[in-house]
């Protein structure tokens, strides 16, 4: 096996080595079937068990109540920006959006194509360094739903509380934090996540939707985009992303074996705290996100000097700390430390940062 690096990419990102090795061992013969999962009919008995186990293990991991459906779809979180309004914006034809980053903004823009998309609050004026504090009176009780981005991948912020939206269903994009911390699914009408951050290879989108929100799509909706069609087809109305579902299922099994989400959350909080504590005490690095709103998954920081940041990113790359440059809209650095990033990777990053600090003070 070749050398592994610590990959800080925001996504696609690291997968657990155990899972990579396990699927590699079975790459040409999955459990005596004589074929790879990549070659397998999605209507086969073997795949039916793969998708069934993936669903039930995810249900266990996230404590998903019985009145919620789990879907394995395609199109990324991006397609959910439209699929959600197509299916949900059908009673009063309006929804509320909290704009805490560019993905949140895109969700609102897509929503506006299907009804009245109201921006309840935005932290754009501060380049999205904080999460607005909202109460139930901030939301329109007639809205068909309220949309938030739980963890803002680009700006490194995370909702430190779940907003009270009263009777209005809360929809959250959890692409970059699903399974990284405990989430009370019963507080949401719908959750969605592109898999390529915390779950699996790209190509898979997980949707968790409460039963009463299903069945309201307009008659002219493309079949693929109707949650009801997908639920009836058990995510196999058409050919699903079989390989990604298989790898996701292996990630779920590993998580269950290792103590589930509470155990991961403990490690993730510890990883993030170490990194932020070091940044806050350092002489050259700062993290722009408000302390109470900082993400456990994406730590955004910089030196305040674009040339020095560029030097940092290049030097880190040379030392096996890969893809640590900030998003092009923010600059600086961003360390994405998802579930699969081992604590040793964060330790290695801090050691590198310390050395770089000493050399450049
Ligand atoms: C990555 C990401 C997206 C975009 O996901 P795609 O799967 O590429 O469509 C949307 N929202 C959040 C929060 C993300 O992190």
Q: Are residues 276 and 243 in the same domain?
A: no
The model's confidence at residue 69, banded by pLDDT at 50, 70 and 90, is: very high
- Residue whose Cα lies nearest atom 4 of ligand 1: it is 77
* Residue of 99, 109, 175 to test ligand 1 pocket, by largest number of atoms within 8 Å of CB: 175
Atom of ligand 1 nearest to the CA of 196: 7
Task: Among 233, 257, 281, identify where a domain stops.
Answer: 257
Atom of ligand 1 nearest to the CA of 78: 9
Residue 230 confidence (pLDDT): 98
Residue 1 confidence (pLDDT): 63
Residue 1 falls within a domain, yes or no?
Answer: no
Q: Which residues line ligand 1 (CB under 6 A)?
A: 11, 76-78, 103, 149, 153, 173, 175-176, 194, 197
* Residue of 78, 81, 203, 300 to test ligand 1 pocket, by largest number of atoms within 8 Å of CB: 78
Helices 45-61 + 242-257 axis angle, to 10:
50
Q: Are residues 212 and 249 in the same domain?
A: yes
Say yes or no to pLDDT of 2 above 90: no
Ligand 1 centroid distance, CA of 207 (Å): 13
Q: Are residues 201 and 331 in the same domain?
A: no
Residue 163 confidence (pLDDT): 98
Q: Are residues 152 and 46 in the same domain?
A: yes
Say yes or no to pLDDT of 360 above 70: yes
The kind and range of the H/E element at 71 are: strand 68-73
* 250-283 pLDDT per residue, tens: 999 999 999 999 999 999 999 999 999 999 999 9
Residue 184 falls within a domain, yes or no?
Answer: yes
Atom of ligand 1 nearest to the CA of 151: 13
Say yes or no to pLDDT of 355 above 70: yes
Specify the number of domains making up the chain. Answer: 2
Q: What is the mean pLDDT of residues 199-207?
A: 98
Ligand 1 centroid distance, CA of 239 (Å): 22
Q: What is the mean pLDDT of residues 116-131?
A: 98
Atom of ligand 1 nearest to the CA of 11: 1
For tokens 């007639």, the residue is: 142
CATH code of 267's domain: 3.90.1150.10
Instruction: Name every residue whose Cβ is closer than 8 Å to that of residue 302 and which is 6 or more positions away in sequence.
Output: 285, 286, 288, 309, 326, 331, 332, 333
Q: Are residues 236 and 310 in the same domain?
A: no
Instruction: Name every residue whose Cβ is closer than 8 Å to that of residue 307 and which is 6 or more positions away in sequence.
Output: none
Q: Are residues 224 and 314 in the same domain?
A: no
Say yes or no to pLDDT of 99 above 70: yes
The burial of 306, by beta-carbon neighbours within 10 Å (0-12 exposed, 13-18 middle, 19 or more buried), is given as: exposed
State which residues form the domain around 90.
18-257
Q: What is the mean pLDDT of residues 30-41?
A: 98
- Residue whose Cα lies nearest atom 5 of ligand 1: it is 77
State the Cα–Cα distance between residues 143 and 314, nearest whole angstrom.
Answer: 47
**pLDDT, the chain, mean:** 97
Q: Are residues 277 and 225 in the same domain?
A: no
Ligand 1 centroid distance, CA of 276 (Å): 24
Q: What is the mean pLDDT of residues 311-318?
A: 98
- Residue whose Cα lies nearest atom 12 of ligand 1: it is 175
Say yes or no to pLDDT of 295 above 70: yes
Task: Among 209, 232, 257, identify where a domain stops.
Answer: 257
């Amino acid at each position: 096996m070749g050398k592994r690096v610590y990959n800080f990419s925001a996504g696609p990102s690291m997968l657990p080595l155990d899972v990579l090795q396990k699927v590699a061992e079975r790459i040409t013969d999955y459990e005596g079937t004589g074929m790879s999962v990549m070659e397998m009919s999605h209507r086969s008995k073997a795949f039916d068990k793969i998708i069934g186990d993936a669903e039930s293990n995810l249900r266990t991991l996230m404590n998903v109540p019985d009145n919620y459906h789990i879907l394995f779809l395609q199109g990324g979180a991006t397609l959910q920006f439209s699929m959600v309004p197509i299916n949900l914006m059908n009673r009063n034809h309006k929804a509320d959006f909290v704009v805490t980053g560019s993905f949140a903004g895109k969700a609102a823009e897509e929503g506006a194509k299907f009804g009245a998309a109201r921006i309840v609050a935005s932290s754009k004026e501060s380049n999205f360094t904080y999460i607005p504090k909202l109460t139930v009176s901030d939301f329109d009780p007639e809205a068909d739903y309220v949309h938030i981005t739980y963890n803002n991948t680009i700006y490194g912020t995370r909702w430190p509380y779940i907003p009270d939206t009263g009777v209005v269903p809360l929809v959250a994009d959890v692409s970059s934090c699903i399974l990284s911390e405990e989430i009370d699914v019963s507080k949401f009408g719908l959750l969605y996540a592109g898999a390529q951050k915390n779950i699996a290879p790209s190509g898979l989108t997980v949707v968790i939707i409460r039963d009463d929100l299903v069945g309201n799509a307009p008659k002219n909706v493309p079949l693929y985009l109707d949650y009801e069609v997908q639920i009836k087809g058990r995510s196999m109305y058409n050919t699903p992303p079989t390989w990604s579902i298989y790898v996701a299922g292996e990630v779920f099994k590993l998580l269950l074996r290792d103590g589930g989400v509470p155990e991961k959350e403990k490690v993730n909080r510890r990883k993030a705290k170490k990194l932020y504590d070091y940044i806050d005490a350092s002489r050259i690095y700062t993290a722009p996100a408000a302390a109470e709103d900082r993400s456990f998954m994406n730590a955004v920081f910089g030196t305040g000097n674009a040339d020095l940041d560029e030097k940092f990113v290049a030097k880190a790359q040379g030392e096996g700390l890969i893809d640590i440059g900030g998003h092009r809209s923010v600059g600086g650095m961003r360390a994405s430390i998802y579930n699969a990033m081992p604590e040793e990777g964060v330790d290695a990053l801090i050691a590198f940062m310390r050395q770089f600090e000493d050399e450049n003070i």
